[in-house]
Structure 1
């Protein structure tokens, strides 16, 4: 495994790392946690197809209604999940900080299972459907916040991007499975079971997440934050598959201890208001928080979830007729996303880097969306007529957009926001990022049905709107996003201009803290001094 990785991943950190740390254990841990991503993917992918099924429309009063009324009801059903996700992402931060990353993921899985059961059993009652999707959303949102955090805190630095990006791979895998579950249900199931079976299958990844996290360890960095140093080191040794006295373990554990002590000297309190003050009053921390929020806004404003949620309707607008054909095209779209994301994680994530991935995919996504918008505006598809050659190019652009998103703005945003925060603020920072992502996910899910109806013929203005946003995102990355490839989590403070003047020689391994001599205290002050480089 180590030899293969060194051939694929061009990363300086791997040259000095022991091969044992790239064993099966760290990959199994990441995959177990990333079932939370599959949960989100299946929830978002299944609902789009279910909304187009005749038995569902008849059962929930959507059949033969005016286009505006149907669009509003569809938007309400879809976006209720995002409302729950927003609440779950914010609530997960204090839970994961107080009780741990692992218990937070277990709770997320349990909530998602309960909400999924309610959706499948709603039987035409919109109120029950809304409540079930909201509860599922709380579980999905909490998992989306804790999952990248948990994986990044366990991952070796050289492959942290790939392992954290697995979250996005599991999302698109869930979307792909959802699309084909919908297609199979449409072909082979009749009656209300046609939509009940897909809704019930949303619980599968939640069950896998619960079982996987029950068998996994807690994050060694979270244990260190709780001053459970022996457990932290034992867990680190287990995850890295190295003995306690190995130089790599000693170095990584020493970096964890030094950073935590530096942070505690910088601001002694650990309450929510202390952390908020630390995040927003120190320029380097504030810069990271703002970058996190903007990246997550941009991720949603690419328009990717407009396609995920409403792919059948979008394919119909491009001239693809028939519900079965639409769902088949949607299934192919899911395959493209999954394959592209897998290629990115294996060959690109820790080689090309975060910054360049975001830059080139911004342009690629914008060009794909712009062509679709111009095609729908200039030569809109006509009912009863075959799709012209330009229309097939537009369909290809949908698939090219999906592939480009998986090479940049899909996985890289989750990688970046989970690795740049300082240790004390990592949970809070990722919570802000996840909550922002879900808030704008909600905005997109709620707005797109109306946009497709009102923004020009066949909604051409919708695609142009997202194209303009994609171009502007590239400008933002060019000026404000530094590269983090190959850096340890403990080096992020230095990259963003926040460090503490502490001599590494003053570290006391017995006490797990930094001891300063009288001379050092006179030179640096009674407490640590913060250096701002931004």
Structure 2
């Protein structure tokens, strides 16, 4: 892993071979602003986990009078209805993302999210209004989960594409942090009757930042190429790369993307919805990519982490963490661990260690920790917290279970949380990317919906520990699948994925890792300026980038 032919060494060589100008502040600012919509998904998950156990919320909507079974069902629907909306948001956004652009599509999705926030905050005890508002907000969130990762994959240099897309994943976890800790803040400083809606309304703050940001960043150059506007694509890519239009890397990247789009169109005419899907299933390489990502999203969503996040107060209570303050702090710290793990994964693992190895490591951590929690709950279910605390061995086992929950969060961030977003955004060609990404994210949300609805019942039917055995079993299946079928996409160009899927999925492991040739950026050799000559020009005559940006 660490030798001269390792993934880390080859990625470093690839980055050194590229002009330093492409890793510039404007690229990373653009990436951050478009990654911020990830906060929406995480904020909603973290916030609603606290809202549905808030006493004032339960009383205001008449839920405190329900039986335990009816209350559990109502909580499940309140949590899950947003994910149902997200399914439709993902499917609907494909109708505009290739017609009006990535940024305009993101603005439309953000407005739906805003409408959902306002509707929830001012539903005034109307349960039907709350359901409708959460559905509308989820519709908007679903749209952002399609557009943001797609945009990030299309603007990032290939050597750091994983890091750029992981900014979106990290923002999702940042949203969970906001969701938990904002609620903790209003719990301390707001009257009880205002707490839940004040925390919900706070989601407007990050939304306003990224909505304004969409008017600062450039459109995706690949979108312009898809619409046949090479000149505008060149101008936007110049801004993102801080290189002149005649630089070999700029021309090579544009020509490679344009050639792939032209080749796809020459083989398959038409761009209608059903024409695109017929092409996906009729083309062997596309069909294999579709099958790979379909299985990834199903396994990832049922590996248990979303259940723990969405029902974390309930699950934490199994380990003796009860009371409002203790529960708020524990779930808030859990969110911070997930966020920091996602940041570390994006900064150090996905582009250097690689997607495949990171995924295997993450799943292994999930499997071990889930198995420990299942054993602990199997032994202690039925015992009171006082009984557990009175026994030294039981108390240490309980503390170990709490630690396992936090370690599990790290494994989730390294593996199944991060990789489906990353792989979905990068393996599909430009012509079919928006359709396939929207479907995969709709599938992601549909599985999330099913998970949200099933978890309360699964915890009851499985006597708590059975649910964790189920999740551990999914992780075991995941390890086998990833070992055989998962390719390594780190460092490859978006247009260089085709040969990965020239073999059946069960043989992918034999050809999974890229060679030095695969990691080389697309470069026009007939360009009047090479990377080295541009750097010399930059040093001698002052930075050209300021002229270009102007």
**1:463 is aligned to 2:464:** no
Distance 2:449 2:478 in 1: 20
Matched, 1:422 2:429: yes
Residue 83 of structure 1 is matched in structure 2 by: 84
What are structure 1's unaligned runs of at least 5 residues? 1-5, 499-503, 510-534
Paired residue for 2:531? none
Contact 1:292 1:429 (8 Å CA) reproduced: no
Write out aligned runs for 1:268-287 (5 A): 268-287=269-288
Cα deviation, residue 8, structure 1: 10
| Equivalent-residue separation in structure 2 for 1:310 and 1:328 (angstroms) | 15
Aligned-partner SS, 1:63: coil
Cα distance in 2 for partners of 1:51, 1:12 equals 51
SS of the residue corresponding to residue 63 of structure 2 reads coil
Q: Distance in 2 between matches of 1:19 and 1:140?
A: 35
Q: Which residue of structure 1 lines up, in the alignment, with residue 491 of structure 2?
A: 486
Task: With the length of structure 2 as denominator, give the TM-score of the two structures.
Answer: 0.87
Tell me how far 1:314 sits from its aligned partner. 0.6
- SS of the residue corresponding to residue 142 of structure 2 reads helix
Q: 1:476 aligned to 474, 477, 481, which one?
A: 481
Q: Which residue of 1 aligns with 2:384?
A: 382
Q: Deviations over 1:101-147 (max 9, x none)?
A: 11000111111111100000011110110111011001100000111
After superposition, residues 242-391 of structure 1 pair within 5 angstroms as 242-380=243-381, 381-385=383-387, 387=389, 388-391=395-398
Q: After the TM superposition, which segments of 4 or more aligned residues of structure 1 sit over 3 Å from their partners?
A: 6-12, 383-387
The Cα offsets for residues 74-100 of structure 1, whole Å up to 9 and x where unpaired, read as 001011100100000111112101111
Within the alignment, does 1:14 sit opposite 2:21 as a pair?
no
Report how far residue 39 of structure 1 moved. Answer: 0.8
2:226 pairs with 1:225: yes
Is the 8 Å Cα contact of residues 81 and 136 (structure 1) preserved in structure 2? yes
1:410 equivalent to 2:417? Answer yes
Q: Which residue of 1 aligns with 2:165?
A: 164
Instruction: Look up the SS of the partner of 2:311 in the other structure.
Output: helix
**1:375-434 Cα shifts (integer Å, max 9, x gaps):** 011123514445411011000000000011111211121111110011111111111110
Instruction: Give, in whole Å, the separation in 2 of the partners of 1:28 and 1:386.
Output: 50
In 2: Cα distance, 1:334 partner to 1:76 partner: 23
Partner of 1:213: 214
Q: Distance in 2 between matches of 1:7 and 1:96?
A: 35
How far is 1:7 from its partner?
10
Which residue of structure 2 aligns with residue 524 of structure 1?
Answer: none
Query: 1:39–1:203: 8 Å Cα contact kept in structure 2?
Result: no
Q: Tell me the alpha carbon deviations over residues 301-333 of structure 1, each in whole angstroms, 9 at most, x when there is no partner.
A: 111111111110110122212122111100010
C-alpha spacing 1:260/1:12, structure 2 compared with 1 (3 Å) = farther
Asked if the contact 2:33/2:213 (under 8 Å) is kept, the reply is: yes
> Post-superposition shift, 1:205?
2.4
CA contact (8 A) 1:38 1:170 kept: yes
| Compared CA separation, residues 12 and 419, structure 1 to 2 (3 A) | farther
**TM-score after normalising by structure 1:** 0.90
1:91-240 counterparts in 2 under 5 A?
91-240=92-241
Q: Count the aligned residue pairs.
A: 495
Q: What per-residue deviation string (whole Å, max 9, x for no partner) do you get for residues 184-216 of structure 1?
A: 222322232111111111222222221111221
Partner residue in 1 for 2:544: none
RMSD over aligned Cα atoms: 2.0
Which structure 2 residue ranges, 5 or more long, are not aligned?
A: 1-6, 390-394, 504-521, 528-550
Aligned to 1:58: 59
Say if 2:501 is the partner of 1:496.
Answer: yes
Shift of 1:367: 1.1
Contact kept in structure 1, 2:113 and 2:136, CA below 8 Å: yes
Deviates more, 1:316-325 or 1:241-250: 316-325
1:436-455 correspondence to structure 2 within 5 Å: 436-455=443-462
Q: Conserved in 2, the CA contact under 8 Å of 1:11 and 1:486?
A: no
Residues 8 and 347, structure 1, Cα contact 8 Å, conserved in 2: no
The 1-side partners of 2:396 and 2:332 are apart by 22
Other structure's SS at 1:192 match: helix
**Per-residue deviation at 1:63?**
1.5
* Correspondence for 1:24: 25
Partner of 2:404: 397
Corresponding residue for residue 46 of structure 1 = 47
Structure 1 residue 9: Cα displacement: 9.4
